[in-house]
Amino acid sequence: MNKNTVEFRLFHEFYKAAKNNLTQGAWDYLIGASETETTLKRNRAAFDSIAFRPRVLRNVDHVDASTTLLGKKLRMPVVLAPIGSLQDFHPEGGAAVARAADRFGTISILSSVSQPGLETTAAACQGPKIFQLYVRGNEAWVEDHIRRAMDAGYVAFCFTVDLDYYVKRERDIAKRYVTTGRRVAGKNEEHQRRFSWKDIARIRDRFDIPLIIKGIATAEDAKLAVEHGIQVVYVSNHGGRELDHGRGALDVLPEVVEAVNDNAEIIMDGGILRGSDVVKAMALGADAVGIARLYGFAFGAAGEAGVLRVLEILEDEIRSTLGLLGVTGWSELDQNYLHFGAPLVQAPGYRSAFPLLEEGY
């Protein structure tokens, strides 16, 4: 741990530092969502509404938080989800995030609208990486990106499919703020709107690389993904940044788990801000979770070192939560450790995960 990050011990400290470091436009882009931001709030409410049923007097001296995803060993079941325009939070962008993930022992997913781009980010470190694409060109354009990702050594290729229309993100509009990635990727969006299961079938037939579909929000589409040979079904509502009034991602997870029926691996993201959130998602059947805003705060606060530090703190919370539940690893965890429908004691939102913010820390 270097001198610049040793002071970070709590998640809300990253939040505060990032808010101080970033421009108002970049900050609002990081924390914001679409229209009324209802989906974002439901993401948090889904976690806040589940309580734990801990077991005691078990030997939990050794707790193993590691797992595997796509055949790769992960130090914990947390991947760094794609964030567009990472370069707006720190000039090193996706390369620094990939290095942090590699140093910690997990996987980063590079957004196609984050710099320094596919090949440069791949060369930044030796650890496993995934490339995520927004479709902004024809079949040849898409296939060129797949070939480039394969040549660069990415372990999987991810399509984000819940962005057919760019919904009003009113924090950005109010500031007249446009991200650097949006300035480039805001063109040729008709290709995304035309992209369909037919394209997925064609790609599955032509390329030997694991495919991930990110943006699954129903059992019906999870079944279609399995039927199309998708290796990873990624439950996500874009962090509440697209369709407003969607369900919380954690609320969607159980029906997707049932639909997939162990025929693909499952990642979910949306509202994960604590180690206890990770444990709840895993108990409901996820194989791994994605974090985005949480490491976005850390990246804005302290760059690569901040991302590494936030992963370390998250791991500590995960391990202590598992131990206090009376389990020593993921194979022992199931829904019997959860209680559903517990009343909320605070309004949902970011601050429900960071109560010290309300106390002026």
Residue 357 lies in a domain: no
- Of 1-5, 314-318, 325-329, the one with minimum mean pLDDT is 1-5
Q: Do residues 220 and 237 make contact, with C-beta atoms less than 8 angstroms apart? A: no
- Of 116-120, 196-200, 306-310, 339-343, the one with minimum mean pLDDT is 339-343
DSSP class per residue in 263-315: SSEEEEESS--SHHHHHHHHHTT-SEEEE-HHHHHHHHHHHHHHHHHHHHHHH
Q: Do residues 361 and 353 make contact, with C-beta atoms less than 8 angstroms apart? A: no
Residue 1 lies in a domain: no
Residues above pLDDT 70, as percent of the chain: 93
Residue 118 lies in a domain: yes
> If we measure between CA atoms, which residue out of 314, 307, 308, 313 comes closest to residue 289?
314
Question: Tokens 């693909």 — which residue?
Answer: 264
What is the chain's mean pLDDT, rounded? 94
pLDDT category at 360 given cuts 50, 70, 90 is: low
Q: Is 204 helix (H, G, I), strand (E, B) or coil?
A: helix
Residue 29 lies in a domain: yes
pLDDT category at 313 given cuts 50, 70, 90 is: very high
pLDDT category at 341 given cuts 50, 70, 90 is: confident
Residue 348 lies in a domain: no
Residue 346 lies in a domain: no
Question: Which helix (H) or strand (E) segment is 19 a member of?
Answer: helix 11-21
Residue type, 74: L
Residue 2 lies in a domain: no
Rounded Cα distance between 350 and 226, Å, is 33
Residue 338 pLDDT > 50: yes
Cα 93 from chain centre: 16
Residue 96 pLDDT > 60: yes
Question: Tokens 């598992």 — which residue?
Answer: 322
Residue 108 tokens read as: 């980063």
Rounded Cα distance between 141 and 104, Å, is 33
> If we measure between CA atoms, which residue out of 290, 338, 360 comes closest to residue 47?
338
Q: Which residue has the higher pLDDT, 261 or 349?
A: 261
Q: Which residue has the higher pLDDT, 66 or 36?
A: 66
pLDDT category at 1 given cuts 50, 70, 90 is: very low
Q: pLDDT, tens digit, for every residue of 141-156?
A: 999 999 999 999 999 9
Residue 245 pLDDT > 90: yes
Predicted local confidence at residue 187, as pLDDT: 83
Predicted local confidence at residue 342, as pLDDT: 73
The arithmetic mean of pLDDT across residues 186-207, rounded, is: 95
Residue 346 pLDDT > 90: no
| CATH number of the CATH domain containing 275 | 3.20.20.70
What are the catalytic residues? Answer: 238
Residue 353 lies in a domain: no
List of residues 6+ apart from 317 with CB closer than 8 A:
274, 275, 276, 278
The arithmetic mean of pLDDT across residues 310-321, rounded, is: 98
Residue 331 pLDDT > 70: yes
Q: pLDDT, tens digit, for every residue of 11-40?
A: 999 999 999 999 999 999 999 999 989 999
Give the structural domain span for 116: 11-327
* Alpha helices in 165-292, H assignment, sequence order: 170-175, 180-185, 190-194, 197-206, 219-227, 249-260, 275-283
End-to-end CA distance of the chain: 23
The arithmetic mean of pLDDT across residues 327-346, rounded, is: 89
**If 0-12 CB within 10 Å is exposed, 13-18 middle and 19+ buried, where does residue 57 land?**
exposed
pTM exceeds cut of 0.75: yes
State how many domains the chain has: 1
